[in-house]
């Protein structure tokens, strides 16, 4: 995406469903974050099955250490993630994430596609 500088990586992708795995994410902010909102959509086989939204940063109630960062600053996160899912049904999954700030400007967005089939 030419509107954002973003990098993301996952260690041990094959073990995602049952183990803790490490992720790394980094980006250069093109917009300041006084307030930050996230919206996730989970799409399975072309149908939206879950939509989730949450306020991550707002004055006096910041849930993340990078709340308050300014345009041009770097964000970096490295750490473990555990999904705790025993089994993922077969199919095509798309996870769509969008982060917007107080001006309703997109700070970051990403779509992840996961294909889960027994026979590759």
Which domains are delineated in the chain? Answer: 7-116 (2.60.40.770)
Dump pLDDT digits (tens) for 56-84: 898 887 777 788 889 888 888 888 877 66
Mean pLDDT computed over every residue of the chain = 80
Check pLDDT > 90 for residue 39.
Answer: yes
β-strand pairing of 20-28 with 74-82 = antiparallel
What distance in Å separates the CA atoms of residue 44 and residue 59, rounded to the nearest whole number? 35
Q: What is the CA radius of gyration of the chain?
A: 16
pTM: 0.70
Dump pLDDT digits (tens) for 77-112: 888 877 666 667 788 888 899 989 999 988 888 888
Contact (Cβ atoms closer than 8 angstroms) between residue 35 and residue 59 = yes
């Amino acid at each position: 995406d030419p509107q954002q500088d973003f990098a993301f990586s996952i260690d041990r992708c094959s073990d995602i469903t049952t183990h803790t795995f490490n992720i790394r994410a980094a980006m250069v902010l093109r917009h300041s974050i006084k307030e930050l909102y996230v919206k996730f959509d989970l799409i399975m086989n072309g149908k939206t099955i879950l939509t989730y939204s949450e306020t991550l940063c707002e004055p006096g109630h910041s849930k993340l250490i990078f709340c308050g960062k300014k345009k041009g600053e770097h964000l970096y996160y490295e750490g473990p993630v555990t999904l705790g899912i025993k089994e993922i049904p077969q199919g095509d999954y798309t996870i769509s994430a969008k982060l917007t700030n107080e001006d309703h400007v997109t700070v970051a967005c990403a779509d992840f596609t996961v294909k889960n089939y027994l026979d590759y």
